[in-house]
Every structure is written in structure tokens, then in C-alpha cells.
């Protein structure tokens, strides 16, 4: 993971089509969303770092990828009052929102 000009870049070690991780990787680019901070991935990462300080080189602790990713629950509990003040229900925001919602939104034009 690294910062490049105006976006965050993440390199994945392997993918569904390259389980061994032998092929060269192109970074995934993540941009801030100042218009809708409630779905901004950069803000979410910042809040995560305020709530949890990694003690080793792993961004999300544990052996299970799903459990590591679901550390978002910690952040969700920390900002519940703010989410409610925005008219959002904390349970409406989950891993599916991040993984599928934004991609579908972008692809639909």
C-alpha cells in the first residue's frame, strides 16, 4: 500500500486467476470522496487507524481474511451516533457495501 499523488494504491499478492502470485501486479487505486464522506474509503481508513493501532505488519489482525476485513465493525460501533445523525442505520453499512455497492454504482454510469 502506498500513496501516489492524489490516490492510495494497493497491490495484491495474488488473485483468483493467479493464486501463486507469479504475474506482475497493477495497483488498485483508491480515491477520496469529499462529496459523500460517509462512503469515503480514505476517511474510513483514517477512522480505522484512530480506533486500532496495528502491532505488526498486518493491517487487519487475525488469520481469517473475512474476520480481518470485518474489523470494520469496530469502526461502525465507534461512529454509530454520527451515522444516526446523518439518517443512516449502522447495520446498512457492511462489507458488501464496500465490495459491491461502489463497483455497481460506477459501472451503471
- Model confidence at 104: pLDDT above 70: no
Cell of 35: 462529496
Tell whether 39 and 27 lie within a shared domain: no
Q: How many domains does the chain have?
A: 2
Output the CA–CA distances (angstroms, integers) from residue 107 to 5, 9, 20, in the order listed. 25, 20, 29
Tell whether 27 and 39 lie within a shared domain: no
Regarding beta strands 28-30 and 2-4, do their DSSP bridges make them parallel or antiparallel, or are they unpaired? unpaired
Count of H-run helices and E-run strands, the chain: 6, 3
Tally of CB atoms within 10 A around 80: 14
Tell whether 55 and 6 lie within a shared domain: no
Tell whether 23 and 41 lie within a shared domain: no
Q: What is the pLDDT of residues 63-101, one digit of tens each?
A: 776 666 666 667 777 778 887 888 877 776 665 555 555
Tell whether 18 and 46 lie within a shared domain: no
For residue 84, what are the domain limits? 33-107
Tell whether 2 and 21 lie within a shared domain: yes
- Backbone phi, psi, residue 13, to 5°: -70, -35
Q: Note the pTM of the prediction, 2 decimals.
A: 0.52
Q: What is the pLDDT of residue 8?
A: 93
Write the DSSP symbol of residue 87.
T
Tell whether 51 and 69 lie within a shared domain: yes
Q: What is the pLDDT of residue 30?
A: 93
Tell whether 16 and 67 lie within a shared domain: no
- Backbone phi, psi, residue 100, to 5°: -110, -40
Higher pLDDT, 59 or 6: 6
Amino acid at each position: 500500500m502506498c500513496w501516489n499523488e492524489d490516490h492510495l494504491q494497493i497491490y495484491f499478492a495474488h488473485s483468483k486467476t493467479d493464486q501463486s502470485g507469479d504475474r506482475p501486479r497493477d495497483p488498485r487505486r483508491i480515491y477520496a470522496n469529499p462529496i459523500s464522506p460517509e462512503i469515503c474509503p480514505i476517511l474510513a481508513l483514517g477512522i480505522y487507524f484512530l480506533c486500532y493501532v496495528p502491532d505488526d505488519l498486518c493491517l487487519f489482525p487475525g488469520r481469517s481474511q473475512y474476520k480481518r476485513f470485518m474489523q470494520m465493525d469496530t469502526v461502525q460501533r465507534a461512529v454509530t451516533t454520527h451515522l444516526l445523525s446523518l439518517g443512516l442505520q449502522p447495520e446498512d453499512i457492511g462489507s458488501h457495501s464496500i465490495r459491491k455497492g461502489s463497483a455497481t454504482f460506477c459501472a451503471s454510469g
